[in-house]
Amino acid sequence: MLPTDPTKKISFTRCITDGDLVIVYERHDAMKAVKVCEESVLQNRFGVFKHSDWIGKPFGCKVFSNKGKFVYLLAPTPELWTLVLSHRTQILYIADISFVIMYLEIVPGCLVLESGTGSGSLTTSLARAVAPTGHVYTFDFHEQRAASARQDFEQTGVSSLVTVGVRDIQGEGFPDEFSGIADSVFLDLPQPWLTIPSVGKMLKQDGVLCSFSPCMEQVQRTCESLRSNFTEIRTFEILLRTYEVRQGKLDGSRDNGGGSLPCKRKQHSIEGSSEQDNQSSAAVLARPCAEAKGHTGYLTFARLKFLS
């Protein structure tokens, strides 16, 4: 998934080969991760796709089924992976993930601790951020979940950057071997306040912690326990609004002004480009999607206080 291995990096000349992980794209909300295997086939509502037809084609190409229907084959990225991975737990999505990585000041070479691993959605993005020389140590108390995550990281090709441990971080804290060497720590635990003392030991001075909690009661207890050894304690909520774009005709678009809807008029005043001025062609309209996530969780950040 990551271009750490130059032979895997996407380019005009890089073709799909046997054993590659591809994202089969039907629609923006219908995607699937598939491991290319010469003898294998993919069967979906569009018919049967032979993997052997895919090999030698570039990523980003269209491939056809026995019924003449098509899908696209994309190179995996952490964003696409987040959309296709199997949910073993509730996962973090792109807006929270992006903000966490930026706010934790994670750059190549960082050592990052995470608990729990969950489905590995955030972990994959953490790995991308610390590559090529950093490392993510992620812990989950659920043995089977940790094993599945390990398999996933193997499949997505980030396993050299991630180590999955089985450990009850809330009960035992992080292992002592990481004392004072973590650049950043991420917690997604039901009682994160129990882990704060351990996080204080793990972080380098001035290192940053993030705790993700869906409930405000968790946030309050976490913030209280942070106040003694941490500074710059800030809590955020981030949501994403997406827009639908379609071409449509609005009544009254032919007579200039008159009965045109506000959105139509706005378009003219802002855009005024030649394409929009063409009255006979339909307008391109945008509006926020009606369905949206109302809440994911609160993100609390804090920086280890400098005490010496």
Partner 1 sequence: MSQNKIQLDPSNNNSRVTWEGCSVLLDINDGDRLVFARLTAASTLKIGNKNCSLQPLVGCPFGSLFQVDNGKEGPVLCRALPSKEDEAPEKGENQISEELRDNRAIVDDNKAQTLTGEDIDEMRRQGAKGDEIVEALIANSATFDKKTAFSQEKYRIKKQKKYAPRVLLRRPFARSICEAYFKKYPNRIGFLRVDTLSLMLSMANITANSDVLVADMVGGLLTGAVAERLGGTGYACSTYLGDTPNSIDIVRIFNFSSEICKRIVRAPLSDLSLDQNGTSAQTNSHEDVCNMEIQSNDQISSSVVMENISISSENVVSDIVPETTLSPASKFCKAPKAGEKASQEALKLWKENGFSSLIMAAPEIDPWNLVKDLLPLLSYSAPFAIYHQYLQPLVTCMHNLQIGKMAIGLQISEPWLREYQVLPSRTHPCMQMSGFGGYILSGTRISGS
Show binding-site residues: 119-122, 140, 168, 188
Which parts of 194-213 interact with partner 1 (CB under 8 A)? 204-206
* Site membership for partner 1, residue 261 (CB under 8 A): no
Beta pairing, strands 61-64 & 70-74? antiparallel
Backbone angles phi, psi at 113, to 5 degrees: -110, 140
Say which residue the tokens 């339909």 belong to. 282
Contact status, residue 38 vs residue 52, Cβ threshold 8 Å: yes
Which structure tokens are listed for 189? Answer: 């635990």
Min dist. Cβ of residue 49 to partner 1 (A): 17
Which parts of 87-116 interact with partner 1 (CB under 8 A)? 94-95, 97-99, 101-103, 105, 107-110
Taking the CA of residue 195 as centre, how many other CA atoms within 13 Å lie in the half-sphere pointing to its CB?
A: 30
Interacting residues of 219 by C-beta distance below 8 A, sequence separation 6+? 211, 213, 235, 298, 300
User: How many beta carbons lie within 10 A of that of residue 54, not counting itself?
Assistant: 24
Which structure tokens are listed for 132? Answer: 């090529």
Q: Which is nearer to partner 1, 43 or 273 (CB)?
A: 273
* Site membership for partner 1, residue 159 (CB under 8 A): no
Q: Rounded to whole angstroms, how far apart are CA atoms 23 and 31?
A: 7
Beta pairing, strands 21-27 & 30-35? antiparallel
Q: Cα–Cα distances in Å, from 20 out to 12, 31, 82?
A: 16, 16, 18
Which parts of 115-134 interact with partner 1 (CB under 8 A)? 125, 128-129, 131-133
Q: Which is nearer to partner 1, 141 or 298 (CB)?
A: 298
Min dist. Cβ of residue 9 to partner 1 (A): 7
Which parts of 215-254 interact with partner 1 (CB under 8 A)? 216, 219-220, 223-224, 227-228, 231, 233-243, 245, 247
CA 88 from chain centre, in angstroms, equals 16
Min dist. Cβ of residue 116 to partner 1 (A): 21
At 83, which amino acid appears? L
Q: Which is nearer to partner 1, 65 or 218 (CB)?
A: 218
Which parts of 162-191 interact with partner 1 (CB under 8 A)? 183
Contact status, residue 83 vs residue 111, Cβ threshold 8 Å: no
User: How many chain residues bind partner 1 (CB under 8 A)?
Assistant: 85
* Site membership for partner 1, residue 264 (CB under 8 A): no
Q: Rounded to whole angstroms, how far apart are CA atoms 209 and 100?
A: 10
Q: Which is nearer to partner 1, 42 or 104 (CB)?
A: 104
Q: Which is nearer to partner 1, 189 or 304 (CB)?
A: 304
* Site membership for partner 1, residue 270 (CB under 8 A): yes
Min dist. Cβ of residue 54 to partner 1 (A): 13
Q: Which is nearer to partner 1, 90 or 236 (CB)?
A: 236
Q: Which of 35-43, 73-81, 147-155, 249-257 is the region at the interface with partner 1 (rule: CB under 8 A)?
A: 73-81
Q: Cα–Cα distances in Å, from 96 out to 53, 224, 296?
A: 38, 23, 8
* Site membership for partner 1, residue 55 (CB under 8 A): no
Q: Would you list which residues are annotated within the binding site for S-adenosyl-L-methionine?
A: 119-122, 140, 168, 188
* Site membership for partner 1, residue 304 (CB under 8 A): yes
Min dist. Cβ of residue 85 to partner 1 (A): 16
Say which residue the tokens 């796709």 belong to. 49
